Amino acid sequence: MGSSYLKNVLTELSQRHAIFVADLASAVRSPHQFATNGNAFCVPTALTPGASSSSALKTAERAEYAKIHVRVLAIRNAIIDGNPGVKSEFTLTSRAGVPISDTQYTVLTKNSRLCYVTLSTDNPRAFRRTFNKIGGTIRVS
């Protein structure tokens, strides 16, 4: 991925007051020099928590993923910190042709905010357990 792409992504995340982390050592080990990374942010939403929240989240995510042409591997209901949510796994190909695997946790908080935690890697086999472990530690307020 080019530096201009990364700058645009980081600018967008900054505007959302996001948290961004990267495992720089993974870039050294990567044949693509891709740093496994994660980001998290929350946005206000008109959705309200309820029995159909996870279904609405899954529908919205499928529509969003279709727009950006990702290959969806799984979208399933999840309870995240006691709130309805969705765990999605998908792949996309960077402009440089690098296959990137993402795990995204989306949670609807009690105060109607959508919070996203996205974890990305070019080495899904090595990081799958770590991504799952991170998913179990997500806390929202």
Q: pLDDT value at position 82?
A: 85
Note the pLDDT tens digit of each residue in 71-123: 999 999 988 898 888 999 999 988 788 899 999 999 988 888 889 999 999 99
Q: Which of 20, 24, 2 is nearest to 11 (CA)?
A: 20
Check: pTM over 0.75? Answer yes or no.
yes
Mean pLDDT over 10-28 rounds to: 86
Note the pLDDT tens digit of each residue in 21-52: 999 999 999 999 999 999 999 998 887 777 67
Mean pLDDT over 63-68 rounds to: 89
Q: For the domain that residue 26 is a member of, what is the CATH number?
A: 3.40.1000.10
Query: Residue 12, CB half-sphere, CA atoms under 13 Å: how many?
Result: 9
* Number of compact structural domains in the chain: 1
Asked whether residue 141 is assigned to any structural domain, the reply reads no
**How many whole angstroms separate alpha carbon 51 and alpha carbon 100?**
33
Q: pLDDT value at position 139?
A: 92
* Domain residue limits at 28: 3-135
Q: pLDDT value at position 69?
A: 86
Asked whether residue 35 is assigned to any structural domain, the reply reads yes
Asked whether residue 126 is assigned to any structural domain, the reply reads yes
Q: pLDDT value at position 79?
A: 86
| DSSP-derived pairing of the beta strands 19-23 and 71-80 | unpaired
**Res. 2 pLDDT band, cuts 50 70 90:** low
Asked whether residue 24 is assigned to any structural domain, the reply reads yes
In 7-70, the DSSP E strands lie at 19-23, 36-44
